[in-house]
Structure 1
Amino acid sequence: MNKKRKQNLKEARSLQIWNVIYDIIEVVVSLIAGFTANSSALIGWGLDSTIEVISAGTLGWRLHGEIKGLDERLVAKRKMTTMYVIAISFALICLFISYDSITKLMSQETASWSTTGIVILIVSLWVNPILIYYKRMYGHKLDSPALLADAKDTFICLYQTVVVLIGLLLVKWLGWWWADPVAALLIVPYAAKEGWAAFIKARKIKDNEDIE
């Protein structure tokens, strides 16, 4: 491995570490704010961010493995396990968000205003574009489909942030009580799609590597 690639790998790994640290803060703050305000959208967004933590952490681990020259078959086996965990996590998130949102739509529950929730959403609107930029940059430098895919996931997270923020503001400014659970439900199709994709990837890894 040449010196330049190794340096890029280390910098990309550091990026993923910072990504994990921020996502953990995002998860904790959004879930506390979501449960306090009874906001399906904030809770769903926070739960979805837990997948970002798993994804970023796994990618950082994979980059570390390349730096250390870890056995490729062992990397593949761990990647397969992680994909299964992500798939199951997404399935559970879809079930929870769907049940919570539909229940609130039927009972016409209104989410309370959450200044903390709004703040973390606005911060994410600034942080995510920065993460996307650097993930794409290192993805191209390292010719890494995984980093480029992770940048795409972060972009989708940015979209979700906008949707949830709009939902909360509509509840506050226009009194549209249904905007919060509807914003949460908009997360479900993405979560279902990504969960299925993770399951398919796990199966392909198993088939290609003949992992028992």
Structure 2
Amino acid sequence: MNKTRRNYLKKAKTLQIWNVVYDVTEVVVSLIAGFTANSSALIGWGLDSTIEVVSAGTLGWRLNGEIKGIDEEKVKRRQKITLNVIAVSFTLICVFITYDSITKLINQETANWSSMGLIILLVSLVVNPILIYFKRNYGKKLDSPALMADAKDTFICLYQTVVVLIGLLLVNWLDWWWADPVAALLIVPYAAKEGWEAYNKAKNINYNIA
């Protein structure tokens, strides 16, 4: 392994560690805010962040393996596992958002205002674009489909952040109780597409089982 690639791998691994730290914070704050405000959108957003924690942690494991110099077959194995985890993550996002949104539409549920929720959403609007930029940057430099897929996963989280924020504001300002679930459903087609692509990339990775 050349020095430049090893350096990029270490930087990408450090990025994933910070990603996990932030996402854990995001999960705790958003779930507390969601349950306090009885907001299905905030709770769903927090659960989505737990999937990101799993995805980022698994990807960090794959990067760490290459840094330690494990053989190419094991690197491929970890890459395949990482892409499958990301694909499953997208699937879970689709299932939860669909169920949560339809349930809210049927029950005509309305969330209460949450200042804590607003703050973590605004912080996420700043942090996630930074994570996306560096994941894509290292993904291209390392030619890593897993990093690129993880960047798309973070993009979906960013999109969902905007959706949840707009939904809460519309409910609070205009009493449009239906705005949040309808907007959330717009996430599903994109998430399904990216999940399917991650699955196909994983399927095309072949390695020898020692």
Q: TM-score, normalised by structure 1?
A: 0.84
Residue 111 of structure 1 contacts residue 180 of structure 1 at CA under 8 Å; is this kept in 2?
A: no
State the Cα deviation string for residues 137-187 of structure 1 (Å, max 9, x = none). Answer: 333443444434433332332222112111111011111111122233223
Residue 135 of structure 1 contacts residue 150 of structure 1 at CA under 8 Å; is this kept in 2?
A: yes
What does 1:3-152 align with in structure 2 at a 5 Å threshold?
3-152=3-152
**Aligned mates of 2:184, 2:102 — CA distance in 1:** 10
Q: Which residue in the other structure is 1:193 paired with?
A: 193
Could you list the runs of 4 or more consecutive aligned residues of structure 1 that deviate by over 4 angstroms after TM superposition?
A: none
Instruction: State the number of aligned residues.
Output: 210
Residue 39 of structure 1 contacts residue 180 of structure 1 at CA under 8 Å; is this kept in 2?
A: no
Deviation at 1:103, TM superposition (A): 1.9
**Aligned mates of 1:192, 1:141 — CA distance in 2:** 26
Deviation at 1:120, TM superposition (A): 0.8
Q: 1:200 to 1:210 in 2, by over 3 A?
A: farther
Which amino acid in 2 is paired with 1:173?
W
Residue 118 of structure 1 contacts residue 165 of structure 1 at CA under 8 Å; is this kept in 2?
A: yes
Deviation at 1:76, TM superposition (A): 2.9
Moved more, 171-180 or 183-192: 183-192
Q: Does 1:209 align with 2:189?
A: no
Moved more, 122-131 or 141-150: 141-150
Structure 2 unaligned spans of 5+: none
SS class of match (2:176): coil
Let me know the Cα RMSD of the aligned residues. Answer: 2.5
Moved more, 108-117 or 143-152: 143-152
What does 1:160-175 align with in structure 2 at a 5 Å threshold?
160-175=160-175
Moved more, 18-27 or 44-53: 44-53
Moved more, 102-111 or 163-172: 102-111
Q: 1:5 to 1:84 in 2, by over 3 A?
A: closer
Q: TM-score, normalised by structure 2?
A: 0.85
Deviation at 1:89, TM superposition (A): 4.2
**Aligned mates of 1:156, 1:92 — CA distance in 2:** 13
Structure 1 unaligned spans of 5+: none
Moved more, 11-20 or 72-81: 72-81
Q: 1:166 to 1:193 in 2, by over 3 A?
A: same
Q: 1:152 to 1:202 in 2, by over 3 A?
A: closer
Which amino acid in 1 is paired with 2:207?
E
Q: Which residue in the other structure is 1:182 paired with?
A: 182
**Aligned mates of 2:162, 2:72 — CA distance in 1:** 39
